[in-house]
A = this chain, B = another copy of it.
Amino acid sequence: LDRGDAERLRELLGALHPADVADLMGFLSADAREELVPHLDPETLAEILSELDTEIREEVLEHVPSATLAKAIGEMESDDAADVVDDLEADKRAQVLAAMPEVERATIEASLAYKDETAGRLMQREVVAAPQFWTVGQAIDHFRREVDDLPELFFDIYVVDPSYKPVGAVPVSQLLRSKRDVPLAQIMEQVTEIPVDMDQEEVAYIFDKYHLISAPVVEPGGRLVGQITVDDIVGVIQEEGEEDILALAGVSDAGRDADVLGMVRSRLPWLLLNTVTAAIAASVIGAFEGEIEKLAILAALMPVVASLGGNAGTQTLAVAVRALASRELSAINAIRTVSREMVVGLANGAALAALTGGVIYALFGDLRLTLAFGAALMINMFVAALAGAAIPLALDRMGRDPAVSSVVFVTFVTDFTGFFAFLGLAALILL
């Protein structure tokens, strides 16, 4: 199919949704993709590019001639266009930009000037704005006349004052249900303005909280410069949730679509940190070498205390990170949350201590060993709850991401406490 019948291929691809074409390209071998790419016209390319996975997109971009690419990028919305240009290698980027009309080039360069993961990078510059004094009829007539200047899809019309500051928004459906002679100023709703340098996570929070479909983006002076629509936000929320999962486990963001070398680089740093924390925990055990030589069963039981504490700490940690991300947890209810976690930690600790203590007594018939184990377990469960709740809260307070590698820190605390409490108590009670 790939070879020969280019016309037929184009027809087939045209019938599919761009997202499905992008999926298909993912299943093809690299060679087949290389053959397919020259057959794509700029319009199709424009639709597919923003749907491709980063890895495949970079490969495809390499094989498209600069002139075709310049045309394709010209067809895209400004936020997607900036993304693609950002992905190009330096010399190809210069070629593509040179092949574009002056205005489009300026728009893309302006988008790229905003920092990554801010509202400025997320927004599209195409907006629909109308002056305050227009009526519904005037607005509709204007849109019918200026069809080519409108974004392909839009959901709100921003009503602006003479200095182009947004003063309100009219949802398109509201425009549709109103009579022609109603002034826009009368049916407009309050707008939530997004500053151009706001972090994308904050933008997503605002969209979620106020159920926004689109929002105007303004410069520091208050001038309307673009809009963010909810479909871009869906991607951001997806991304932030994924980042939290990876960060909790200690995987740096860099390694997401990377090759083996990139994967090693994204994980090794946290493993090295873990080596240090594990060595410190091991030194605790080392300090009790004499006790272990006398009673080797201690060596078998101490990982149980550490493991249960680690698991309980991770549970609390996950709940705290989630609550921080959804802003259910803040400085106001932090003390209540932490103390509730500590109660839960003690309750779970008591339940597990009773159960495991019973088993240990049945196996070894040693009351003092049972006592040392049960007490150490309760201490560790309590500390686990405290660490699991306090570490992310402290990181958040310091303005850092509460998810980043918290698991490494929490399990360090529970390993250290588990080994120290159990071996220390055993040394005191037993020997």
Residue positions of A touching B, CB distance < 8 A: 17, 19, 27, 53, 140, 143-144, 147, 150-151, 153-155, 171-179, 190, 207-213, 230-231, 233-235, 237-238, 240-242, 244-246, 248-251, 255-256, 260, 263-264, 267-268, 270-272, 274-275, 277-279, 281-283, 285-286, 289-290, 292-293, 296-304, 306-308, 310-312, 314-315, 317-319, 321-322, 325-326, 328, 332, 340-341, 343-344, 347-348, 351-352, 355-356, 359, 407-408, 411, 415, 419
Contact = CB atoms under 8 A, between A and B. Distances in A.
A227 B330 CA distance: 35
A240 B237 CA distance: 11
A186 B21 CA distance: 25
B210 A249 contact: no
A263 B340 CA distance: 9
Nearest to A423: B299
A311 B250 contact: yes
- The complex is assembled from copies of this chain, and their number is 2
A162 to B, nearest CB: 24
Q: What secondary structure prevails in chain A residues at the interface with B?
A: helix
A319 B255 CA distance: 9
Given A19-B210, A179-B144, A299-B299, A275 B356 contact: yes
A178 B304 CA distance: 70
Contacts of A347: 260, 264
A315 B242 contact: no
Contacts of A235: 208
A386 to B, nearest CB: 15
Given A144-B177, A278-B308, A248 B251 contact: no
A213 B312 contact: no
26 contacts: A144-B179, A151-B173, A155-B173, A176-B176, A212-B231, A213-B231, A237-B238, A237-B241, A242-B326, A260-B344, A263-B340, A264-B351, A267-B315, A267-B344, A268-B348, A271-B352, A274-B307, A281-B303, A285-B299, A286-B297, A289-B296, A289-B297, A289-B300, A296-B299, A307-B415, A314-B407
B292 A304 contact: no
A244 B246 contact: no
Nearest to A298: B299
Contact of A178 (B144, B212, B306): B144
Contact of A155 (B213, B278, B303, B311): B213
B318 A304 contact: no
Contact of A343 (B233, B260, B268, B300): B260
